[in-house]
Amino acid sequence: MQLQLKSSSKVITEYYNAIEALSRNQQTHEGAVAPYFANVLRHCANQYEQLTLVEQYSIKRDGRKPLRADGALVDKQTNVLLYGIWEAKDSKDKLEQEIKKKFKDGYPSDNILFQSPEQIVLYQHNEEVFKASIIDQPENLITGLEDFFSYKPPVYAQWEEAIVAFKDKVGELGGALVEIILKELKLNKPFKQAFEDFSNLCRVAINPNLAESAVIEMLVQHLLTERLFRTIFNNSDFVNKNVIAKEIEKVILALTSRSFSRHDFLKSLDRFYIAIEETASTIHAYGRKQDFLNAVYENFFQGFAVKVADTHGIVYTPQPIVDFMVNSVQEILKQEFNQDLSSEGVHVLDPFTGTGNFILRVMQEVDALNLERKYRKELHCNEIMLLPYYIASMNIEHAYYERSQQYEPFSGICLVDTFELSEPKQQGFNFFVPENTERVNAQKAAPIFVIMGNPPYNVGQSDENDNNKNRKYPHLDSLITDNYAKFSKATNKNSLSDAYVKAFMWATERLQNQKSGIIAFVTNSGFLDGIAADGMRQYLEEHFDDIHIFDLGGNSRKSDDDLGNVFGIRVGVAVTILVKKG
């Protein structure tokens, strides 16, 4: 696509007028000029369906402090795939020396545009491909921008085509796998027995009403994505190291024992796997690979498990929100309790961990001297869905490996329904396999100090059938009835069945035996002014000493709330931090 830009274009004339005004006031330093050049780049990026400009872009480097570029062109869908870097410089800077310094620091040279008020220099594939004065020469500026925006890494074209087709193909193959499994359940006795044993483990650990179709879905998820975990994360022994993957693999081996060939069946996905793997190979920092796999994962669910995506809300917490929440908790620990996230005895739990982002961010705050103890004993998280559980396990284990240079399985993660943990009938239950049961029991016995995360927004934490029913948790539901609903003046109290409401009650009860503690959630903001939540608001006020609420807006039903939504959803969002001082 040719960039639609002329010397007479409004965005170009505005840029030159601004530079002229700044020059008259001798204000041509980087901080003054950069916002105007960013406007030009943003205008250009908006012409491309897949591109967006991210200012102050963090370039992650394994084991080293991230670099910060003035801007980057990234893929809108993943927000990870990098198309180009922009670096702004002062008039006073010697541009050639600055460029050498940036490359020495580790800036990527695939497609990077250096700009000062006087000139632009473009490097592609580690070579200077364009250099020109732009003083009163907008045609040079436009030529440089055309070259900058037309660049596309070879594997990205393959990726863009593949990710669109991936949804459809995954849906098609997923459906075919379901048919094979249903057929083998009738004809393959060893598989039928292995499947029934695994189903029973699932019903004990996750949901006693779990339908056969949901268990089949877990097997399909594992079959279709296991290769990506091995290749993207260079973890060839993944199925043997992960306690849950190992158990599922036993069922898969029984499935393939008669006539079904996993390799032959998945051959038709090869071009998608290869496109995904080659694109991932261009991403060198592990943190970016985590983000990339999240995007692949969301596409997987949109293609294969639409109802699961709807039930669980497959939307991950934006990193700035995670940063803000972790930093806030760290500050409250220091100010109120004379402790921090490194302190011994500060156990942290993310009850709805997704791909592990909150725990990963907490680990960044833990100093090197305390990391081993914290990792082994004081970090805890739960996940009910198989694929994010896999991803979280690898993300957290790799983050520890990067810091310690030794691999150690993360024993703080459990595949379990968090809400079930408060139910009395869970006492003495087994949770999948002995290792997972031990982890659950250790977590239940731990003196949790901080509970933080992003609870599910939609009603119902797991599917019983196609209706996405709301799970019943007798003990938790009775706590809500006796403490939230009882003191509400509303007639219709259905909204108190929302999963995020359950999460607040669950977390509050989890801290009941602790003199002090902190809850930090990002949730639906309906409880802030909802009529049915008046009892909930009263209860929280009575049970916590400090309540900090940051209303992020985003409620599409409110006419005055037009600033957009941080999650791209229709309900309002709020960050809530509850502090119990004891």
Q: Which of 52, 46, 279, 292 shows the shortest CA–CA distance to 159?
A: 279
pLDDT at position 308 is 52
pLDDT over 70, % of the chain? 82
461 pLDDT more than 90: no
428 pLDDT more than 90: no
Instruction: Please state the rounded mean pLDDT for residues 9-38.
Output: 89
Residue with tokens 């005895």: 345
DSSP state for residue 12 in the 8-state scheme: H
Out of 51-65, 123-137, 259-273, give the one with best mean pLDDT: 123-137
Query: Would you place residue 113 in the very low, low, confident or very high pLDDT band (cuts 50, 70, 90)?
Result: very high
459 pLDDT more than 50: no
pLDDT over 90, % of the chain? 41
Quote the CA–CA distance of 198 and 212 in Å, as a whole number: 11
pLDDT at position 579 is 98
Instruction: List all residues 6 or more positions away from 93 whose beta carbon is below 8 Å from its beta carbon.
Output: 30, 116
Domain 10-152 bears CATH identifier 3.90.1570: yes
Instruction: Please state the rounded mean pLDDT for residues 508-518.
Output: 95
Per the prediction, the chain carries an average pLDDT of: 83
Instruction: Please state the rounded mean pLDDT for residues 270-297.
Output: 71
Give 312-580's CATH code, choosing from 3.40.50.20, 1.10.3720.10, 3.30.2270.10, 3.40.50.150: 3.40.50.150
Instruction: Please state the rounded mean pLDDT for residues 278-301.
Output: 68
**Side by side, which strands form the sheet with 413-415?**
413-415, 379-383, 347-350, 448-453, 517-524, 573-580, 546-551
pLDDT at position 174 is 80
Report the predicted TM-score, pTM, of the whole model to 2 decimal places: 0.69
Query: Would you place residue 225 in the very low, low, confident or very high pLDDT band (cuts 50, 70, 90)?
Result: confident
**Side by side, which strands form the sheet with 119-124?**
51-61, 64-75, 82-88, 111-115, 119-124, 127-133
Quote the CA–CA distance of 186 and 189 in Å, as a whole number: 8
Quote the CA–CA distance of 278 and 156 in Å, as a whole number: 9
Q: Which of 412, 475, 480 shows the shortest CA–CA distance to 446?
A: 412
Three-state DSSP state, 133: strand
Quote the CA–CA distance of 296 and 519 in Å, as a whole number: 31
Instruction: Please state the rounded mean pLDDT for residues 262-291.
Output: 72
Q: How many residues does the chain have?
A: 582
Instruction: Please state the rounded mean pLDDT for residues 47-62.
Output: 85
Out of 265-274, 329-338, 384-393, give the one with best mean pLDDT: 329-338
Query: Would you place residue 26 in the very low, low, confident or very high pLDDT band (cuts 50, 70, 90)?
Result: confident
Instruction: Please state the rounded mean pLDDT for residues 383-400.
Output: 85
331 versus 28: which is more confidently predicted? Answer: 331
Instruction: Please state the rounded mean pLDDT for residues 449-473.
Output: 64
pLDDT at position 316 is 67
Instruction: Please state the rounded mean pLDDT for residues 399-426.
Output: 86
Provide the residue ranges of all domains of the chain, joining segments of one domain with +: 10-152, 156-304, 312-580
Instruction: Please state the rounded mean pLDDT for residues 318-323.
Output: 88
Instruction: Please state the rounded mean pLDDT for residues 184-199.
Output: 91
Query: Would you place residue 311 in the very low, low, confident or very high pLDDT band (cuts 50, 70, 90)?
Result: very low
63 pLDDT more than 90: no
Query: Would you place residue 203 in the very low, low, confident or very high pLDDT band (cuts 50, 70, 90)?
Result: confident
407 versus 73: which is more confidently predicted? Answer: 73
pLDDT at position 313 is 44
Read off the tokens for 51.
């591109």
pLDDT at position 433 is 72
Instruction: Please state the rounded mean pLDDT for residues 49-63.
Output: 82
Q: Lowest-confidence range among 37-41, 147-151, 248-252, 292-296?
A: 292-296
Q: Report how far apart, in Å, the C-alpha atoms of 478 and of each of 481, 513, 521 are.
A: 5, 19, 22
pLDDT digits (tens, 9 = 90+) for 519-572: 999 998 989 988 888 999 999 999 999 999 999 885 545 545 555 555 555 578
Instruction: List all residues 6 or more positions away from 275 whose beta carbon is below 8 Å from its beta carbon.
Output: 155, 158, 159, 161, 162, 163
